Amino acid sequence: MIGPDGPAPLSERLTRLARVTGELVDADTVEGVCKAVVTHGAEAVGADVASVTLLSPDGRTVRLMALNGGRAGDEETWSTFPLTVRTPSAEAIRTGTRLVVTGRQAITRRFTDMPDRGTQTVVALPLTAGGSVIGAIGLAFADARHLDEAEVELLDILASACAQSIGRINAQEDAGRQAAKLAFLAEAATELASSLDYQVTLGNVARLAVPMFADWCAIDVVDDGRLRRLAVAHVDPDKVQLAHELAERYPPDPDGPHGPWQVLRTGRSELIAEITDEMIAAAAVDEEHAAIARALHLRSAVTVPLVARGRVLGVITWVTAESERHFTLDDLVLAEQLAKRAAVSLDNAELHSQTLAAAVQLQRAVLPDALDTSSRWEVAHHYSPAGRTEVGGDFYDVVELDDGRLVLFIGDVMGRGVGAAAAMAQVRAAVRAYAVLDPRPALVLDRLDAMFEQHGSDQLVTLLYLLADPRTDTLTVANAGHPPPVLLRADGSAHQLAFADGPPLGVGARSRTEEHMRLGVGEAVVAFTDGLIERRGEDITDGQERLAGAAAALAGTPLPGLVPSVVERVGDPSRDDDVAVIAARRLV
């Protein structure tokens, strides 16, 4: 701005310019740099209008970063404009050279897109950083100005200092963004590894990048040749249902040249840096579809394939809207890195789900739904799996022989998953087969030991085997490393048998022994796995005593009521272990 007495002396202008150049070194934001240039810089040279514009990442548009001395509405009008417009700043960015044009006629003839406001001199200084032009400083003078050579040189220094400061700040911000991305990916890896449940993992993946990376996230997986939307996250939870409804009402075109199906077919990511109204109109099925899409204010989108072990599991799409962000190639790289981690996690979850389903099906096939016996016996059982997602190895069964004797056994295969379930099925089948051949407890366990020795096994198996004979009023017990049962006497007392007197199956027992005791009419035996009586921080004998006390208190209760009551009183719900209980009472 020129004072009433004309421009300040050259020496004073040079001093002011030098002061502004020093000020730029201390600026810590791009906005701060630009503001210092258009205010203090303009004052230093006496410009009536000063501006700083920067080239957008797309290389085709220019953004107005700061303006001083313009008219009302100028900032809005020139907030962004094409690089091709004929203005001093745009030309300086295109050519990379300094412009000084004097004379109103020369200015209007050369810069046809610049408003004619009687300007007599314009100066445009390109901003160059890292060998590339990143923007320009524009200065306009109402009076004709002759710039001294020293003043021009200092203006070039000002432009260089401005460009270097912007480059420095951008580099610092880029480093911060890279650090944030690495931290984000590390957090994502931890989150994705937190669950092996397929649906939970999908939800975690969808929520990971909202709102840090995008405003929307949708995950579509391939299911019987069609895309099925399984997870959606949005900064506004009320819009999650809208996203599901849109996918149902307007599914993507399987033959479309863009979108999730194209990404599925090619296995290549797709970046739409700017979603234009023309794109919305072309992709819309009808006017209502287009209206909904416009109302969502979609700005940019990235669609990335979820690929694991060479197989495309689905696609993950991120969209910006409310944040007004536009995705860049750097964002695409981050999206692909996240998608790789997500795909591995999803693949693991899917494999786990399939394995778990197979194990559960196997366990259900092994554990009996009902225990059928004659009117001579009352039988009840209970099984509750651990809170974890894998199945355990607890098993049990009851077999009533033709002569009225009752075989009852319960066991535990150490470990979890399909291996434990398969071993459980094999041992249960073998016990039933050996019991039919000869039900004597010690003999059955000896044969099981021989089977383990012959075929080998990596599984550790405990087993409690009981044979009740109402003809002799006897109960014969053989134990292979399993918690001993509780006897409920007719007088209501509970008797805890001695602890296991033999090792688990197949670990070197030479000959199994038996224990004999009386089992009269009205008396019962309760057998269980260790998950019922074990608690953290206490000895297992404490659990045995607690069980005996609970069973004695419920001695007169029918077994279908006694068994669940005992489990409720004795079990530790916080313990992550299966619980199996089987009980039999002699009625005649």
pLDDT digit string, tens, across residues 170-186: 888 888 878 878 888 78
Compute, in degrees rounded to 10, the torsion defined by CA atoms 103, 108, 114, 120: 10
The answer to whether residue 328 is domain-embedded is yes
290 and 248 in a single domain? The answer is: yes
Q: Which of 110, 92, 90 is nearest to 102 (CA)?
A: 110
The answer to whether residue 359 is domain-embedded is no
The answer to whether residue 433 is domain-embedded is yes
Other Cβ atoms within 10 Å of 289 Cβ, number: 16
Residue 53 is part of a domain; what is its CATH number? 3.30.450.40
Residues 407/399, Cβ–Cβ less than 8 Å:
yes
**Residue-wise pLDDT tens for the chain (588 aa)?**
444 444 555 566 566 666 777 677 778 899 989 998 888 877 777 889 999 999 988 788 999 999 999 899 999 999 999 999 999 999 999 999 999 999 999 999 999 999 999 999 999 999 999 889 999 999 999 999 888 887 788 888 888 889 989 998 888 888 887 887 888 878 777 777 777 776 777 787 788 788 888 888 888 888 777 788 888 888 887 777 777 777 778 888 888 888 889 998 899 999 998 888 888 888 888 888 888 888 778 889 999 998 888 888 889 999 998 878 888 888 899 889 888 888 888 788 777 777 767 666 666 666 776 777 788 999 999 988 765 555 678 899 999 999 999 999 999 988 776 677 778 888 989 999 999 999 999 999 999 999 988 887 777 899 999 999 999 999 999 999 999 999 999 898 999 887 666 899 988 767 888 999 999 999 999 999 998 998 877 888 888 889 999 999 888 899 999 999 999 999 887 776 788 999 999 999
The DSSP secondary-structure symbol of 587 reads: -
The answer to whether residue 5 is domain-embedded is no
The answer to whether residue 182 is domain-embedded is no
348 and 401 in a single domain? The answer is: no
Q: What is the structure's pLDDT at 454?
A: 84
136 and 220 in a single domain? The answer is: no
Residues 20/36, Cβ–Cβ less than 8 Å:
yes
Residue that finishes a domain, picked among 173, 206, 229: 173
Residue that finishes a domain, picked among 353, 385, 418: 353
Q: What is the structure's pLDDT at 496?
A: 86
116 and 209 in a single domain? The answer is: no
39 and 115 in a single domain? The answer is: yes
Provide the residue type at 504 as one letter: P
162 and 208 in a single domain? The answer is: no
Q: What is the structure's pLDDT at 500?
A: 60
Looking at the structure of the chain, the number of domains it has is 3
The answer to whether residue 59 is domain-embedded is yes
410 and 490 in a single domain? The answer is: yes
492 and 443 in a single domain? The answer is: yes
Q: What is the structure's pLDDT at 87?
A: 96
433 and 504 in a single domain? The answer is: yes
Give CA–CA dist 91/318, Å, rounded.
36
Residue 467 is part of a domain; what is its CATH number? 3.60.40.10
Show the domain range for 209.
193-353
Q: What is the structure's pLDDT at 28?
A: 82
H-type helices in 197-239, by residue range? 198-208
Give CA–CA dist 160/21, Å, rounded.
9
Residues 233/217, Cβ–Cβ less than 8 Å:
yes
Give CA–CA dist 27/17, Å, rounded.
16
Which segments of 69-142 are extended strands (E)?
Answer: 80-82, 99-102, 121-129, 132-141
200 and 294 in a single domain? The answer is: yes
Residue that finishes a domain, picked among 303, 318, 353: 353
- The number of C-alpha atoms within 13 Å of 334 and in the hemisphere containing its C-beta is 22
The answer to whether residue 451 is domain-embedded is yes
433 and 560 in a single domain? The answer is: yes
The answer to whether residue 186 is domain-embedded is no
Which residues share a beta bridge with 139? 50, 123
Going by C-beta distance under 8 Å and a sequence separation of 6 or more, which residues neighbour residue 26?
A: none
Burial 36-67 (b: 16+ CB within 10 A, else e): bbbebbbbbbbbbbbbbbbbeeeeeebebbbb
Give CA–CA dist 343/331, Å, rounded.
18
220 and 169 in a single domain? The answer is: no
